[in-house]
Amino acid sequence: MNKENNLNLQCPVCHMMVNKDNFFLDYQQRRFLFCSQQCLQNFKANPHLYVGRPAVPAPAQQGHQIIKIRIIKPGTLLTDEQCYVIENEIKQMMGIRSLQVEPDFISITYDLMQVTVEQIETAIEDTGNRIDKTLGELLKHAFMNYVEETELVNLEDSAEIHKH
Ligand SMILES: [Zn+2]
């Protein structure tokens, strides 16, 4: 077996080609390589989304996305400048599909296959802390007690019965 050839695999989370084993995980007797720490964390959080059983491909293997939307209310009015900083920071994250930051609410649409709730929560808190420590805590609290979560597509539940 040629070891070199084995190190040229697709990241199971974002499908990028990976040829370094900086980030890897052994799962179901296979070694998976990841392009980044974020993809590795995602995989660890929900491995069944990315690797199915022989007869049942995982949602990611069928090219699916799991789109979720979360609307949070900061509990205080954000200034235009704060909105700008928060928007710029969060939209750079992998897996964010759309983002709206207004003085009284933040709406985030994301692909659960590419980004976890914990990663978004951490990013929001970090961004808030950079503006003001109190704001960071407020945003984190608001995110954890989000007012609405709508699942536009929930393939996690239907993956078992969904066949092409
Ligand atoms: Zn990746």
- Kindly report, residue by residue over 12-53, the tens digit of the pLDDT: 888 888 988 899 999 888 889 999 999 999 999 888 888 877
Ligand 1 centroid to 16 CA: how many Å? 6
Ligand 1 centroid to 160 CA: how many Å? 24
Ligand 1 centroid to 7 CA: how many Å? 15
- Co-location of 40 and 81 in the same domain: no
Ligand 1 centroid to 34 CA: how many Å? 5
- Co-location of 72 and 35 in the same domain: no
For residue 163, give every residue at least 6 positions away whose Cβ sits within 8 Å of its Cβ, in sequence order, or none.
Answer: none
Q: How many CB atoms lie within 10 A of CB 37?
A: 11
Q: How confident is the model over 61-80, as pLDDT tens digits?
A: 777 788 888 888 888 899 99
Task: Identify the pLDDT of residue 142.
Answer: 86
Q: How confident is the model over 104-120, as pLDDT tens digits?
A: 999 999 988 888 888 89
Ligand 1 centroid to 154 CA: how many Å? 21
Which residue type is seen at 109?
T
Print the domain residue range for 25.
Answer: 3-45
Ligand 1 centroid to 14 CA: how many Å? 4
The token pair at 44 is 């660890």
- Co-location of 102 and 139 in the same domain: yes
Show the beta-strand stretches assigned E in the chain.
9-10, 17-18, 23-27, 30-34, 67-72, 96-102, 105-111, 148-151
pLDDT of 81 > 90? The answer is yes
- pTM for the model stands at 0.65
Q: Is 73 among the domain residues?
A: yes
- Co-location of 71 and 144 in the same domain: yes
CATH number for the domain that contains residue 106: 3.30.70.100
Q: How many domains does the chain have?
A: 2
Q: Is 58 among the domain residues?
A: no
